[in-house]
A and B are shown apart, each in its own frame.
Chain A
Amino acid sequence: MNGIHDLGGMHGFGPINPEPDEPVFHAEWEKRVFGLFATTSAFAGFSVDEFRHAIENLPPAEYLETSYYEHWLHSFEEMLAIRGIVTKAELDARVDQIRQGGQ
């Protein structure tokens, strides 16, 4: 399916700017998101293909503006919400709780 992820040959993205001595992860949350793939796909029962499809379905502007592991987070949210394992409301409520100083 055509989509924003099909980037081959597109123009206008500017220079590549490789980062010297790049670390494997750039933030603690990236590590957690990375580790969530193997652990979550195992019990929720989704394949890499379904996981990637959710990323490819991101609105084009959001796809380009967000980072690789943010794409992963988006897909986990989709995979878990579709299966009724963690609803969006449940996750939003927990986010609010943490913002207010909770765990």
Chain B
Amino acid sequence: MAKTKPAPVESETAIRVRALEAILIEKGLIDPKAIDALVDTYETKVGPRNGAKVVARAWFDPAYKQRLLADATSAIKELGFSGMQGEDMVVVENTDSVHNVIVCTLCSCYPWPTLGLPPVWYKSAPYRARTVSDPRGVLKEFGTILPEDVEVRVWDTTAELRYLVLPKRPAGSEALGEEALAALVTRDSMIGVTVL
């Protein structure tokens, strides 16, 4: 006899969302296909691979890096990444003496066009609370231990201005081309919680 799988129980929240969407559709106020398209965009098209391309270009092309640090919004737009939640961008560069990390203490502000949607931990109370008071302790939780003489700078993102960390180019990557360089760049290194 075939076993019948019990139907998954829909959470109260899931039911409420379904109810709200159904009402809005019936009133002719929204098109569910527009929601599908937005979800697809942020699941498959916009994400940290975009930011990795920006970082790789900056490592590869010194003139681009200069433009990126001087006017990040325009330089990022050159690569075709712009729009919602990335209207005003600042790129902060990690060096031998400075390490940067980004947070949004008030909410969840994050550079969508270059990093996609933020992970849950970025939006969580412990990360938002502690990054500004104990950044080294936070970095340690991500396995990042920096020498004492490296200055840690914490950038508190706002609704208007979004930051992106330009990580240090890994040693031994001198011979790599732009595409291979981009493959080395992780999301967390562009938030600044890890190094490469």
> What is A's interface to B at a CB cutoff of 8 Å?
5-11, 13-19, 22, 24-29, 31-36, 38-40, 43, 48-49, 52, 55, 64, 67-68, 70, 73, 76-77, 80, 85-86, 90-91, 94-95, 97-99, 103
Number of A-B contacts (CB under 8 A): 150
Query: Which of these, B14, B106, B108, contacts A27 with CB under 8 Å?
Result: B14
Known: A8-B105, A24-B42, A52-B159. A36 touches B20 (CB 8 A): yes
| Interface residues on chain B, size class | 35 or more
Cβ of B125 within 8 Å of any chain A Cβ, yes or no, is yes
Known: A14-B126, A34-B42. A91 touches B36 (CB 8 A): no
Known: A6-B105, A24-B42, A73-B17. A16 touches B132 (CB 8 A): no
Name the residue of chain A whose CB is nearest to the CB of B19.
A94
Does the CB pair A9–B29 fall under 8 Å?
A: no
Does the CB pair A98–B19 fall under 8 Å?
A: yes
Listed stretches B56-64, B91-99, B115-123; interface member: B115-123
Cβ of B34 within 8 Å of any chain A Cβ, yes or no, is yes
Instruction: Name 13 extra pairs, CB < 8 A, besides A27-B11, A91-B19.
Output: A9-B105, A11-B129, A15-B141, A18-B142, A24-B43, A27-B14, A28-B14, A29-B17, A34-B117, A35-B37, A36-B30, A55-B107, A73-B17
Pairs A–B under 8 Å by Cβ, sample size 30: A5-B106, A5-B107, A7-B125, A8-B129, A8-B131, A11-B129, A13-B125, A16-B121, A16-B130, A18-B119, A24-B42, A24-B117, A28-B14, A29-B11, A29-B13, A31-B39, A36-B17, A36-B20, A36-B24, A39-B31, A39-B34, A40-B24, A49-B159, A55-B107, A70-B13, A90-B23, A91-B23, A94-B22, A98-B15, A98-B19
